[in-house]
Amino acid sequence: MISVDSIQFAYNKDQTFIIPDFEIKGGEALLVLGKSGSGKTTLLNIMGGLLAPQQGQVLIDGVSVYALKGNKRDKFRGKHIGIIFQKPHILAPLTVEENISLPRFFVNKPSNEKVDHFLSELDILDKKRSTIQTLSEGEAQRVSIARALVNEPKVILADEPTASLDDENAKIVVNLLKEQAAKLNAALLIVTHDQRIKDQIEQRITITRKDL
Amino acid sequence: MNMLKLGWKYLMVKPWNTGLNILLLALGLSIITVLILIQDQFENKMNRDAAGIDLVVGAKGSPLQLVLSSVYHIDFPTGNIPLDEAGKLSANRLIKNTIPMGLGDNYQGYRIVGTNHDYLELYGTEFASGQAWRQPFDVVLGSVVAERLELEVGDTFVGSHGIAAASHEHDEHPYKVVGVLGSGGNVVDQLILTSIESVWYSHDDEHDHEKMEQEVATTGLPEITADETREITTLLVQYRNPIAAVQLPRMVNSRTSLQAASPSFEISRLFELLGVGISLIRGLALVIVSIAALGIFIALYNSLKERKYDLAVMRAIGASKGQLFFLIILEGLMLTSMGALFGILIGHFFLFILVMFNEQGVMSGLTASVFLRREWWIVVYALIVGVLASLIPAWNAYRTDIATQLTK
């Protein structure tokens, strides 16, 4: 379970992002809607332990993410938070298998079985040894999802996961994320401005930016 | 996946860049390797060859030339000295033993040295086959000579005048091989040894067949008749006591027509002279290594600019700052350790080529197949260069701001 409590964040004095308190339980999904520049990605970075807020806290299974410092927070993020970026951002020098096994390596977990499991779950097992350059956009997005899931995180954060996909693939990806979150009993948060997917997730919040 | 593999994958993104950086470093380190190998082996060889010889006495001229020609057999002799003067000197109470040497002939570039059996003892030689010379024109071959010229006991050959190949032949006096020495790893391996008498008789205009049947001197100086006038080239002298080292060279140089030269002194002087050149070459090698280090720094620094997003992604999926710092340092270490490895191998190959083209010269007796402990310092040195070159890029990687990079 992840909960966000009294978070406030400002890049400068003139601009504050106001984020409502919310909570996502394991297996549940929440859609965060907002226009460009409304602070969606900022929220995702704060929840992912990548950007410390000036106020408030993010709790994952009772652990305050920002109470953890340096290396401990990095390891906590690696083990418990899976992040899916707007673009797949797969590391080009590595193969599909190596990309997916990387999060497990960083947190000192053996990789073989889990990598194969998620390759299979995401229907890209045949691409295991492929280089990134040979993948289609949809396949690349699946690889990035597999990489986010391979450590079986408690929280899955997806930043505009459907932005570059057509309608059909957008629907497939959201269903895939919901399905995997349910299987892993993980809390799923999708931030997007993509109106096509708003009907696929029941829980929704909207965030706004307050200009002073 | 492991850190080594991850670093290697990123180095292989630009294989030509990586290869050239490794090659540049390897070339610099190969020069240092060659210098270490030559210096170490050359000093050992020089000291080994001069062991047991306290003083060399010969004709006036350059003392270094006298030592080089008589002890190391790599220069022309300064001239000859009368046998009777050599005899008087040998009788000096400060001298324990003298070994006469007659130089001046060669066979296919290998020097024919007239001496006595004390010379064999001086170097502790052992026979691979046959025995020492007993009669004029019996010869004993050093191991390298026997191997390269494919000669064995019972074979005969005709020597040539002079100490370099392609001189005129003494075809009236064929030499007969009576012994072949085992390898001693010293100057004797490259020599053809015979009696002083053989050297004399090969240059005589008249040939006395009776003398050819007589036994030659195996120790001391050969005996001659009153009406004979003979010369030798040098005397290798062993002192009776330490006082001799003070008195004898001065006495020979000031009171006789001979010249005395101390091998240890002359070799120290030679190393001092060579030292300037060696320092220059070493300086050049260090400049090349520094350029290579700069190249590695630039390569890592530039690659980091292109990889900032990748590094941010790695942080986002669980890599710690320390892991990224270590990754970049590891890449620097991989480049330089490969540079060191190739540098050492290229250095040994260089030496192999040098020795191959200089079989009978100063490089003879050196080998490229010896790996010295000092060469480990090249690896250590390269690793230090690797750490230094990657320190700033690694620090930049350590400071990667994940959120800023990911939102770009």
Q: Measure the CA–CA gap between B137 and A130, rounded to whole angstroms.
A: 78
Count of alpha carbons within 13 angstroms of residue A141, beta-carbon side: 22
pLDDT at position B166, please?
Answer: 57
Inter-chain touch A83–B6, beta carbons under 8 Å: no
A128: chain B residues, CB-CB within 8 Å: none
CB A159 within 8 A of CB A46: no
* Mean per-residue pLDDT over chain A, rounded: 84
Q: Measure the CA–CA gap between A137 and A165, rounded to whole angstroms.
A: 8
Which of B192 and A37 is assigned the larger pLDDT?
Answer: B192
What's the whole-number mean pLDDT along residues B336-346? 92
Q: Which amino acid is at B98?
A: T
The full set of domain ranges for chain B reads 3-46+278-407, 55-261
Instruction: Look up the ipTM and state it.
Output: 0.85
**Residue A109, C-beta contacts closer than 8 angstroms, at least 6 positions apart:** A151
Task: List the one residue out of B311, B320, B322 whose CA is nearest residue A72.
Answer: B320
The full set of domain ranges for chain A reads 2-211
Which B-chain residues 388-407 have CB contacts (< 8 A) with chain A? 402-403, 406-407
Res B314 pLDDT > 70: yes
- pLDDT, one tens digit per residue, over B148-163 is 999 999 999 988 887 6
Two tokens, residue B226: 């009153």
Q: Does any CB of chain A come closer than 8 Å to the CB of residue B23?
A: no
Return the CA Rg of chain A.
17
pLDDT at position B257, please?
Answer: 86
Q: Measure the CA–CA gap between B220 and B218, rounded to whole angstroms.
A: 7
CB B204 within 8 A of CB B67: no
Which residues in B362-376 are b (16+ Cβ under 10 Å) and which e?
ebbbbebeeeeeebe
Two tokens, residue B7: 């670093």
What is the reported pTM?
0.72
pLDDT < 50: residue spans in chain A: none
Q: Measure the CA–CA gap between B175 and B187, rounded to whole angstroms.
A: 21
pLDDT at position B192, please?
Answer: 94
Q: Measure the CA–CA gap between B301 and B296, rounded to whole angstroms.
A: 8
User: At A190, phi and psi to the nearest 5?
Assistant: -115, 125
Res B322 pLDDT > 70: yes
pLDDT at position B359, please?
Answer: 67
- pLDDT, one tens digit per residue, over A118-170 is 888 888 888 889 998 898 888 888 899 899 998 889 999 998 888 777 777 78
Residue B325 Cα distances to A158, B2, B331, B372, B391, angstroms: 28, 15, 10, 34, 8
Chain B nearest C-alpha distance from A210 (Å): 20
Task: List the one residue out of B247, B260, B196 whose CA is nearest residue B66.
Answer: B260
Inter-chain touch A74–B1, beta carbons under 8 Å: no
CA geometry: angle A26, A28, A32, nearest 5 deg = 120
Determine the length of chain B: 408
Q: How many CB atoms lie within 10 A of CB B207?
A: 11
Q: Does any CB of chain A come closer than 8 Å to the CB of residue B13?
A: yes
Give the helix/strand (H/E) hosting B177. strand B169-181
Give the helix/strand (H/E) hosting A12. strand A2-12
Q: Measure the CA–CA gap between B13 and A132, rounded to whole angstroms.
A: 13
Res B261 pLDDT > 90: yes
3-state DSSP assignment of residue B344: helix
Beta strands at B156-161 and B95-107: parallel, antiparallel or unpaired: antiparallel
Q: How many CB atoms lie within 10 A of CB B357?
A: 9
CB B326 within 8 A of CB B3: yes
Residue A198 Cα distances to A201, B103, B280, angstroms: 6, 104, 75
Inter-chain touch B1–A105, beta carbons under 8 Å: yes
pLDDT at position B96, please?
Answer: 92
Inter-chain touch B314–A41, beta carbons under 8 Å: no
Helix runs in chain A, H state only: 40-47, 70-80, 96-106, 112-121, 137-149, 167-184
Q: Which residue has the tokens 């418990």?
A: A80
Residue B49 Cα distances to B229, B367, B375, angstroms: 31, 16, 24
Q: Which fold has domain A2-211?
A: Rossmann fold (3.40.50)
Q: Does any CB of chain A come closer than 8 Å to the CB of residue B9?
A: yes
Q: Which residue has the tokens 């959120």?
A: B403
